Amino acid sequence: MAKGLTVRQEKILQFVLEYVQNEGYPPSIREIGQKFGIGSLRGVTVHLDALARKGFIERSNTPRSIKIVHPAFQTGTKVVMLPLLGQIAAGTPILAEQHVENLIPVPSEMVRSIQGAFVLRVKGDSMSGEGINPRDLVVIKPQQTANHGDLVAVLMGDEATVKRIHFTGETVKLMPSNPAYDPIIVDREDARVVGKVVGLMRDYEGMAF
């Protein structure tokens, strides 16, 4: 399966998911076109064909023939697609296209009404004391401020790290929960808070993204 979706493909997939969950059957090609302002049926089918090639849907020649087939959507849980971010260059928008490695299905109740939520993959075991393991996926609520003791994603250089943040005068301590690691102490201006951790998922082992 090809990796990743375009923004338009993501939005169409999300629309199909929500339509099926609300109505019990998929939308027609014409309804998808009306939703996204696509003037021709062919313009819609180009996106549907791409979703089929990438393993998210199956289609036939009958009306309303769209079927969600990707394993991540077979639980019956309502989901939203969130961007999985890789390296994040300082000074560029957090959700800039070049940062997005993939799109990950996340239970909608984990995201609630959060706008701009995104996903980071955990590297290392420094937070294992809180049950956060290597390759876990953490859901981040974007924000630039934090309270003492919050579990946050902090940008240092071109990568984000997940730690408890402690404020001490002109510096911050990024606190691990694994006693094998020491706190990271940096000046406040060198630790840019990019969001607060609001959810955690185990890695989709064996799934193709």
Average pLDDT, the chain: 83
Q: Is 177 a catalytic residue?
A: no
207's CB contacts (< 8 A; 6+ apart) are 71, 72
- Backbone phi and psi for residue 164, each to the nearest 5 degrees, phi listed first: -75, 135
Q: Is 54 a catalytic residue?
A: no
Q: How far is Cα 181 from Cα 167, in angstroms, rounded to an integer?
A: 19
Question: Considering 54, 126, 128, 196, which one is annotated as catalytic?
Answer: 126
CA 184 vs. chain centroid, Å, equals 26
Cα–Cα nearest to 82, from 98, 100, 94, 67: 100
Q: Supply the CATH classification number for the domain 79-201.
A: 2.10.109.10
Q: How confident is the model at residue 91 (pLDDT cuts 50, 70, 90)?
A: low
Helix or strand run (H / E) with residue 106: strand 100-107
Residue 109: predicted pLDDT: 81
Q: From start to end of 71-157, where are the E strands? A: 79-85, 100-107, 118-121, 137-142, 151-156
Annotated domain spans of the chain = 7-69, 79-201
- Specify the CATH architecture of the domain 7-69: Orthogonal Bundle (1.10)
Q: Which residue has the tokens 């934090």?
A: 146
Residue 12: predicted pLDDT: 92
Residue 70: predicted pLDDT: 76
Per the CB < 8 A criterion, the answer to whether 142 and 118 are in contact is yes
Q: How far is Cα 194 from Cα 197, in angstroms, rounded to an integer?
A: 10
Instruction: Indicate if the pLDDT at residue 60 is higher than 80.
Output: no
45's CB contacts (< 8 A; 6+ apart) are 29
Beta bridge partners of 166: 173
Q: How confident is the model at residue 67 (pLDDT cuts 50, 70, 90)?
A: confident
Q: Between helices 7-23 and 41-53, what is the axis angle to 10°?
A: 90
Question: Considering 54, 128, 141, 163, which one is annotated as catalytic?
Answer: 163
| Structure token pair of residue 204 | 């989709």
Number of Cα atoms under 13 Å in the Cβ half of residue 64: 8
